[in-house]
Amino acid sequence: MTTRQSSRRNFLARLAAGAGALALTGCDRLVQDDNVDALLRQTEKLTLAGQRALLSRHALAREYSEADLSPVFRANGTQMPDSNEYARLLEGSFMDWRLQVDGLVERPQSLSLTELKRFPSRTQITRHDCVEGWSAIGKWHGVPLAHVLDAAGLKPGARYVVLHCADDLEKALDGSGRYYESIDLIDAYHPQTILAYGMNGRDLPVRHGAPLRLRVERQLGYKQAKYLMRIEVVDGFSTLFGGKGGFWEDRGYEWYAGI
């Protein structure tokens, strides 16, 4: 929350408390004043709208049953990162792969797949919606991002989580074609936001982002970053890559891709 937002909230809270106190002491001259009345009615609406917006960000995405699983789950974007480093990691069955967790954290982490699998896990069957106009229902298994963030401990000022991937979706010598994404802390701590290492009861296949991908179920397909290498906690993303918070965002897509 910005300082302006929070001081406005404080102002509204004081206003509401003040009005209550006035009403209680029977001094209704102020309360009956037309302007104050109108203002109070408006703050009531604002609070409701604000609460509704927040509630909807916390709501769960629909979950499905095994019978709903799509027989074919399409792969999109990169289906095999084209780097020597990724080839080497894949050849070693990702035994040498580590997820770096750094940025605004108290305890930077370097986590192997085995270590990630020791955290409590979650399985969810959800529908993936790509902006290109296709959907598929899949079963995802992994560690809630919240557990990993708690292990690292957020520093004051932390506001976003940036997901750095292994693949260049665009060939650019300056590194600007690297896939990445970002989400805010509401989504990062949402119970269905997981770092998935399993899909449909097996290890996550390479074309779907092995060894680890994000599932952030209230948002569109392009937010579901595959081939995760690093999680960086930041206070803003304007200085990263194109500054818009994601590979496709830098090319014009919305940062918040709610569905």
Ligand X SMILES: Nc1nc2c(c(=O)[nH]1)N[C@H]1C(S)=C(S)[C@@H](COP(=O)(O)O)O[C@H]1N2
Provide the binding-site residues for Mo ion, judged by CB under 5 A.
130, 221-222
Instruction: Indicate which single residue of 39, 69, 90, 130 sits in contact with ligand X (rule: CB under 6 A).
Output: 130
The one-letter amino acid code at 138 reads G
Task: Say whether residue 218 binds ligand X (CB under 6 A).
Answer: no
Least spacing, CB of residue 222 vs Mo ion, in Å? 5
Q: How many CB atoms lie within 10 A of CB 188?
A: 23
Which partner, ligand X, Mo ion, none, binds residue 139 by CB below 5 to 8 Å per kind?
Answer: none
**Smaller CB separation from Mo ion, 209 or 221:** 221
**Smaller CB separation from ligand X, 126 or 224:** 224
**Smaller CB separation from Mo ion, 128 or 154:** 128
Sorted by sequence, the CB contacts under 8 Å of residue 194 that are 6+ apart come out as: 122, 124, 140, 141, 142, 143, 144, 145, 214, 215
Query: SS in 3 state form for 105-163?
Result: ECCCEEECHHHHHHCCCEEEEEEEEECCCEEEEEEEEEEEHHHHHHHHCECCCCCEEEE
Task: Say whether residue 222 binds ligand X (CB under 6 A).
Answer: yes
Sorted by sequence, the CB contacts under 8 Å of residue 88 that are 6+ apart come out as: 96
**Smaller CB separation from Mo ion, 113 or 130:** 130
* Helix pair 3-24, 34-58: axis angle to 10 deg: 130
Least spacing, CB of residue 37 vs ligand X, in Å? 50
Taken as a whole, the chain contains a residue count of 259
**Smaller CB separation from ligand X, 37 or 132:** 132
Single out the residue of 172, 151, 193, 187 nearest to residue 247, CA to CA: 172
Least spacing, CB of residue 130 vs Mo ion, in Å? 3
Instruction: Indicate which single residue of 86, 140, 179, 255 sits in contact with ligand X (rule: CB under 6 A).
Output: 179
Separation CA 119–CA 151 (nearest Å): 10
Show the binding pattern over residues 29-68: x = contacts ligand X (CB under 6 A), - = does not. Answer: ----------------------------------------
Task: Say whether residue 86 binds ligand X (CB under 6 A).
Answer: no
Sorted by sequence, the CB contacts under 8 Å of residue 173 that are 6+ apart come out as: none
Instruction: Indicate which single residue of 12, 78, 103, 162 sits in contact with ligand X (rule: CB under 6 A).
Output: 78
The residues binding ligand X (CB under 6 A) are: 74-78, 130, 165, 167, 169, 179, 208-209, 221-222, 224-227
